[in-house]
Structure 1
Amino acid sequence: MPETKEPVNIKKSVWDTSVKVEENGYYWNNDPLFKKGSNINTDKPIVAELFCGCGGTSLGFEMAGFETVLGCDIHTPSIQTFQANHPNCSTINGDIKKVDPEVVKELLNGRQLDVLIGGIPCQGFSLNNRKRHEQDDRNYMYKEFARFVEVLQPKVVVLENVSGMKSVGSFVSDIETHLSKIGHMNVKSKLLYAPDYGVPQKRKRLIFIGIRDNVFDFRDIIKTHGPETENEYVTIKDAIGDLPALKNKETKTKYNSEPSSDFQELMRLNTNGRFTGHTAPNHPAATIERIRNTKPGEPMYDRFKQRIRLAWNILSPTQVSGGIRPQFQLGHPKDNRGLTIRERCRIQSFPDNFIVKGGTVQARVQTGNAVPPFLAKAVALAIKKYIE
């Protein structure tokens, strides 16, 4: 009788699409945690954000005169950040699949929701994700967003995702059709380029917008920077050139120079001269040497062309979350180090009074996943004309 051989265990590559996506250890998978806010009686139009992350879209809407009344996300550090910057806002920390839309309706205390925002998970569509594929479970989270649209019946829906969604299956048309039917509105989408709205970063976001009893015209989203305007794109120098220089592991909390651009002046509003999150990464000597030996504007690693050392006169590449490991993405143009969380915030157009919770790695996750507030502001200003 032939000998029976034990099956050989072949270790699959982490990039194999059959290998389940590694989950962030900071996800709250227990029963959702509810915190009721106190700002529902505002006179401003109100917005609620699902998959809110740290709240970039909400912040942009607030810049345009809206009031955020709810943020919901599974990532605990993101909710901690959201609460730190929206202390009077209701929050839900938990898996959206476990949240009953009727509970959110109760939190609204009888008010009709003006805008429901959804920043559905983008990793399944991201061009930076080498494991992206059509059947990634995260690609279908728009159906969870639709459950809330059906119950809450907001005046406006805004759903956003990465540009890569357009090249994966029929998701764009499926989402437009599904939300149009559920929300009783005509939902359309368009790719927006963040630098056109004052963001110093080559970031594109796919924005879906539907408005009750109207058809949204994307031409109403006014560009503020670039060839069609009076303002040039905001460069890295414009964005972070005034922040203090740092050595490895060093922290600074005060400005030591005057602002040298309009962007820097906007970032410094309401700070009283102090800020958080400006701590240099704790790099090993080999990483410091790698950055030192890389020319500004060039890749630091042969295999990862997006991981460049920034140059003063360029736009940043798309800032990514960095996964769940303590890697940095971009090198500083002058200092031999990666970017601080404050510099990452600036490149996303988060002002210096915005507080990011959760430690360096989770702060990178939050700032990489966020929608730039200035981009969201441009969208919000256009929407405000319709609901007024």
Structure 2
Amino acid sequence: MSIDVFDFFSGCGGTSKGFELAGLRPVFALDFDEASSETFRCNFPDVEFYLSDITQFDSRILRDLIDRKNLTLFCGCAPCQPFTRQNTRKPESQVDPRRSLLTYFGALVARYLPDYVFVENVPGMQRIKGNSTLNRFSSNLDKLGYSSRIGIVESQGYGVPQRRRRLVLLATRHGSISFPRETHGSELEKPYATVRDWISDFPPIAAGETHPDIPNHQAANLSEINLKRIMATPPEGSRSDWPEELHLDCHKSGYSGHTDVYGRMRWDGPATGLTTRCISLSNGRFGHPEQNRAISIREAASLQTFPTDFRFFGSLGSQAKQIGNAVPVLLAKTFGAQIADHAAERAG
């Protein structure tokens, strides 16, 4: 039996692509970002896409798209920024309105009762105690007859070449369901995937250059001072390796935080977690391991395990944001396969 995927907060399509690779069938997607919508539509031309805020979306549209002969999966990977550490201690009066997006998603689940539910977000979403959005969402699933599993997963344990901790909620109306077991790690069948495994085959380009033959293999430009800084950074090095004249004023005054900024990635290990500024040298350890630039859009997408034929649209900054916000494709594929196996066991 086919499993139809309804991807709310789809972004550029990391979740949908992973589920598609696992044999599931994306049929619907919704997002409010125009650049993300262009990316999604290009890569999923047969999926019904709606450019809309979920708070304004007319959910009656879903009636004609849900085929009760098939199983349905609703995924709701809402924007993660409201749940980062910087935002979890704000007074109630300053709570980011995006936290309520999961509530709107929950209302759609309650209305249409999909067979499976998948939610991915940052671990900070779970740290909010008491009557939190996540707790209310999980409690409502229980009342609707779902069996849920919530936990923190390490993306590198599933073959993603990136140290990316994520919260995942997986639920079904058909018995219990478990998370897939990790396959990569020092004591498991496969070693962690590395930066070298995923980006070493891309041809060299300079800062500010776009490769003529490889889509999205484009690197951000660097100022003269930042070009000097990356040139002074050895393999696996950081700003601590620079001569004094290249240090930022804040570092000269004794500031010791954010030690990864301006650093180079390490070839033979997973990358640090990619953010929405993953192609910016000054916003993390996003320097190329050898070349004098930050990683390109294509390389960032590869570290998020997007296939090389997956195209991105919008400004350079928008493309980086799309990639940084995406669910790693391989992580989604692994959970999609777990859902497919669960459905097959139920049918058998």
TM-score bracket for this pair, using the shorter chain length: 0.7 to 0.9
Q: Is the CA contact 2:185–2:191 (under 8 Å) kept in the aligned structure 1?
A: yes
Q: 2:228 aligns with which of 286, 289, 302?
A: 289
Q: Is the CA contact 1:77–1:357 (under 8 Å) kept in the aligned structure 2?
A: yes
Q: Is the CA contact 2:274–2:324 (under 8 Å) kept in the aligned structure 1?
A: yes
For residues 129-185 of structure 1, what are the alpha-carbon distances to aligned partners after superposition, in whole Å with 9 as ceiling and x for unaligned?
x3444522222211011111012211001111111212223434333112332x421
Displacement of 1:364: 0.6
Q: 1:357 aligns with which of 304, 307, 313?
A: 313
Residue 201 (1) aligns with residue 129 (2): no
Q: 1:56 aligns with which of 14, 20, 40?
A: 14
TM-score by length of 1: 0.77
Q: 1:304 aligns with which of 253, 258, 279?
A: 258
Partner of 1:17: none
Residue 178 (1) aligns with residue 140 (2): yes
Tell me, in whole angstroms, the C-alpha distance in 2 between the residues paired with 1:245 and 1:326: 17
Tell me, in whole angstroms, the C-alpha distance in 2 between the residues paired with 1:168 and 1:293: 42
Partner of 2:298: 342
Residue 332 (1) aligns with residue 288 (2): yes
Displacement of 1:299: 4.1
Q: Is the CA contact 1:177–1:187 (under 8 Å) kept in the aligned structure 2?
A: no
1:241-252 correspondence runs (5 A): 241-252=200-211
Q: SS state of the match for residue 386, structure 1?
A: helix
TM-score by length of 2: 0.86
Partner of 2:178: 217
Tell me, in whole angstroms, the C-alpha distance in 1 between the residues paired with 2:59 and 2:260: 39
Tell me, in whole angstroms, the C-alpha distance in 2 between the residues paired with 1:352 and 1:206: 26
Tell me, in whole angstroms, the C-alpha distance in 2 between the residues paired with 1:360 and 1:327: 16
Q: Is the CA contact 1:81–1:356 (under 8 Å) kept in the aligned structure 2?
A: yes
Tell me, in whole angstroms, the C-alpha distance in 1 between the residues paired with 2:26 and 2:309: 17
Q: SS state of the match for residue 176, structure 1?
A: helix
Q: SS state of the match for residue 62, structure 2?
A: helix
For residues 302-322 of structure 1, what are the alpha-carbon distances to aligned partners after superposition, in whole Å with 9 as ceiling and x for unaligned?
543343321212211110013
Partner of 2:276: 321
Q: Is the CA contact 2:66–2:72 (under 8 Å) kept in the aligned structure 1?
A: no
Unaligned runs of 5+ in 1: 1-42, 255-274
For residues 279-318 of structure 1, what are the alpha-carbon distances to aligned partners after superposition, in whole Å with 9 as ceiling and x for unaligned?
1211111111122222333444854334332121221111
Tell me, in whole angstroms, the C-alpha distance in 1 between the residues paired with 2:282 and 2:74: 34
Greater Cα shift, 85-94 or 103-112: 103-112
Tell me, in whole angstroms, the C-alpha distance in 2 between the residues paired with 1:180 and 1:98: 26
The CA RMSD measured in Å over matched residues stands at 2.1
Q: Is the CA contact 1:157–1:211 (under 8 Å) kept in the aligned structure 2?
A: yes
Displacement of 1:251: 2.1
Task: Give the structure, 1 or 2, with the largest relative contact order (CA under 8 Å, sep 6 or more).
Answer: 2
Q: How many residue pairs are counted as aligned between the two chains?
A: 320
Q: 1:113 to 1:299 in 2, by over 3 A?
A: farther
- Aligned AA (2:160): V
Q: Is the CA contact 1:328–1:339 (under 8 Å) kept in the aligned structure 2?
A: no
Displacement of 1:112: 5.2
Tell me, in whole angstroms, the C-alpha distance in 2 between the residues paired with 1:227 and 1:110: 44
- Aligned AA (2:64): E
Tell me, in whole angstroms, the C-alpha distance in 2 between the residues paired with 1:79 and 1:364: 14
Q: 1:244 to 1:326 in 2, by over 3 A?
A: closer
Q: 1:297 to 1:177 in 2, by over 3 A?
A: farther
Q: 2:215 aligns with which of 258, 276, 280?
A: 276
Q: SS state of the match for residue 71, structure 1?
A: strand
Identity of aligned residues (%): 31
- Aligned AA (2:311): I
Tell me, in whole angstroms, the C-alpha distance in 2 between the residues paired with 1:290 and 1:86: 40
Tell me, in whole angstroms, the C-alpha distance in 2 between the residues paired with 1:364 and 1:347: 12
More helix by share: 2
Tell me, in whole angstroms, the C-alpha distance in 2 between the residues paired with 1:312 and 1:245: 15
Tell me, in whole angstroms, the C-alpha distance in 2 between the residues paired with 1:328 and 1:78: 22
Q: 1:119 aligns with which of 50, 74, 77?
A: 77
Tell me, in whole angstroms, the C-alpha distance in 1 between the residues paired with 2:104 and 2:228: 46
For residues 330-377 of structure 1, what are the alpha-carbon distances to aligned partners after superposition, in whole Å with 9 as ceiling and x for unaligned?
111111111110000011000100011112100010000000010111
Partner of 1:151: 111
Unaligned runs of 5+ in 2: 240-247, 249-255
Q: SS state of the match for residue 96, structure 1?
A: coil
Q: SS state of the match for residue 81, structure 2?
A: coil
Q: 2:58 aligns with which of 94, 100, 109?
A: 100
Displacement of 1:188: 2.2
- Aligned AA (2:135): S
Tell me, in whole angstroms, the C-alpha distance in 2 between the residues paired with 1:372 and 1:203: 9
Residue 189 (1) aligns with residue 135 (2): no
